[in-house]
Amino acid sequence: MKILMLTPYLPYPLLSGGQIRTYNLLKKLANKHEVTLFALIKENNEKRFIPELEKYCAKVKVFKRSSTPFTLSNIFRTAISSFPFLVIRNHVPEVVDAVKKELENDEYDLIHAETFYMMPHIPETTIPTLLVEQTIEYLGYESYAKKAPKLLKFLLDIDIRKIKLWERHYWNQSQKLIVMSDEDKKFIGSEIGSEEKIEVVANGVDTAWFEEKKRVHPKYPTLLSVGTFKWLPNVEAVDFLVKKVWPLVSKTMQESRLWIVGNAPTKEVIAFQEKDPHITVSGTIPDIRDAFKGAHILVAPVFSGKGTRYKILEAMASGTPIVATTTAVEGLDVTHGTHVLTSDTPNGMAKLIVKLLKDPTLQKKLAKNGKAFVKNKYDWSIISEKLDTIYQTIGSKKE
């Protein structure tokens, strides 16, 4: 099957959840389908990664958008447009022309769009369109807006209404809608009045790759926080962890350490290690397995956003026990006390962390159960088979 895939990022290197997902699916489906990839980049030096993707794609074309989101042009265009800032900052007119030309010059069975804000690049066509929503965007922004200053909140509320309008529009327009969890499916189904065209293709993990690395036991009890800081829920999570949970843990276990890992840490996040010598902020590291294999516990106090969490799946694949909020593991079908430990309060999380750090037997139990869980349900080989089945179904309907 010939597929045209549109992504708002180049799916390599693997710095974000979206990149991890797209890269692994391309890798697994390369022998079954002929994929042409159209991807947005922010910097020209990203072009050096194209050869890695050409291993799995028939063609790879990249299109440059603004390097930073908050340009005067993006702000002005958002102010006079019905589109939200999220669409404007990811809209490249050149892509519209390129997609139109590609569809005229070649016969495609399916168009695969990652994220609703890539949909405006697709011209009117009879070719079936599959939209993948890795998260429900407006919910994440709503959570952030609630805590914002009044003037910023006012501006955000206007933009959030635009996001909600266009997100729903493209949910309805696509022939098939892919979401990350049953909870997302139910939520979107209630928004558009039906779950009929919605399918769950969860995020996955390369279990064999994580098993290749051996665990390195740190000298001190070490908590790990993982997540790209370009995603607002991760920024909120680290702030909650450092300010509300960590003081309770470090007071009880003074020798403990907190290790924060994630792409593009903010100045506020970097400042945490300057105020507390027991906190280390590493930003991006060459091999994420070193983080999971070099800590005793992953702590994930996520309170907003939708979709399954890579940090949870990767921690399980690494054999790293997890203490998380219920939102952080939503949609994964895990059980408290068997696969993870969950709490939604600072005191509750701190108590679970201390309990887990002091109980090696419980650590081993959670590690063993977590590994088996992701291997049986979330390995990319399993996830890619489900997507392939959907491809075959929707692609065969082309007139």
pLDDT band at 306; cut points 50, 70, 90: low
User: Are 168 and 177 in contact, with CB atoms under 8 Å apart?
Assistant: no
319 lies in the same domain as 195: no
Tell me which residue range forms the domain holding 317: 207-377
* Mean pLDDT, range 321-348, rounded to an integer: 95
Name the band, by pLDDT with cuts 50, 70 and 90, for residue 170: very high
Question: First CA to last CA across the chain, in angstroms?
Answer: 14
Inter-residue contact 297 to 274 (CB < 8 Å): no
CATH code where residue 48 lies: 3.40.50.2000
* The pair of three-digit structure tokens given for residue 45, joined into one six-digit string: 């030096």
Minimum mean pLDDT range among 47-61, 143-157, 325-339? 143-157
**Share of residues in the chain with pLDDT > 70 (%):** 98
Q: Are residues 356 and 388 in the same domain?
A: no
Q: Is the same domain home to 253 and 352?
A: yes
- Mean pLDDT of the region 64-84: 93
**Domain count of the chain?**
2
User: What average pLDDT does the segment 90-116 reach?
Assistant: 96
Exposed/middle/buried for 189, CB within 10 Å: 0-12, 13-18, 19+? Answer: middle
Model confidence over 235-258: pLDDT tens digits?
Answer: 899 999 999 999 999 999 999 999
Domain match, 42 and 157 both: yes
Closest CA to 92 of 163, 174, 7: 7
Whether 297 and 169 share a structural domain? no
Are residue 265 and residue 212 in the same domain, yes or no? yes
CB 274 within 8 A of CB 260: no
d(CA 241, CA 346): 8
* Counts for the chain of helices (H) and strands (E), in that order: 17, 13
Give pLDDT tens digits for 28-40: 999 999 999 999 9
Question: Do 183 and 253 belong to one domain?
Answer: no
Name the pTM for this structure.
Answer: 0.83
In this prediction, residue 295 carries a pLDDT of 97
What is the SS3 assignment for 131-189? EECCCCHHHHHHHHHHCCCHHHHHHHHHHHHHHHHHHHHHHHHCCEEEECCHHHHHHHH
User: Tens of pLDDT along 252-279?
Assistant: 999 999 999 998 899 999 999 999 999 9
* Per-residue pLDDT tens digits for 203-214: 999 999 999 999
pLDDT at 399 over 50: no
Cα-atom radius of gyration of the chain, to the nearest Å? 21
pLDDT at residue 144, rounded to an integer:
72
